[in-house]
Amino acid sequence: MYTSHYTLNDFDDTCVRVKEQLDRSCATVRSSKYTDADIFTIYGTDVSSLKEAIYGLRHIEEMTYTVAEHHPYWRLLSGLAEATRITLERWDNNISDQDADDIRWCLSSVTDALNKLPHNQ
């Protein structure tokens, strides 16, 4: 939690110390820093790019289920997220006929949402 005396440099320093401590006490960890959003993420040794993508997508899906429901782009984002989730879940396997049908449905929902967006003219 930020206090009035807590700065971004303090946050960065704390994150670096946590990562260094984990490196000393466990297997090597990987970190990502997104300074424009004040986000510092630490990943364990078994986290692949695929797992990281699925984790990130969960944040997007959570937003579509809660905060974004009344936003004009909600249906667009929701359909894209669902199609992406199906694809990522099947990344190392085959996409079944049912999966393909579900993706098509998502994409038709995206097309419908795009057609209903207000356009600047």
Average pLDDT, 10 consecutive residues per value, the chain (121 residues): 60 79 76 76 84 91 81 90 96 96 97 85 48
Burial 33-65 (b: 16+ CB within 10 A, else e): eeeeeeebeeeeeeeeeeeeeeeebeebbebbe
pTM, whole model, 2 decimals? 0.73
Helices 49-65 and 74-89: crossing angle in degrees, nearest 10, is 150
Q: Where are the domains of the chain?
A: 1-46, 48-121
Q: Nearest-CA neighbor of 115 among 79, 76, 81?
A: 76
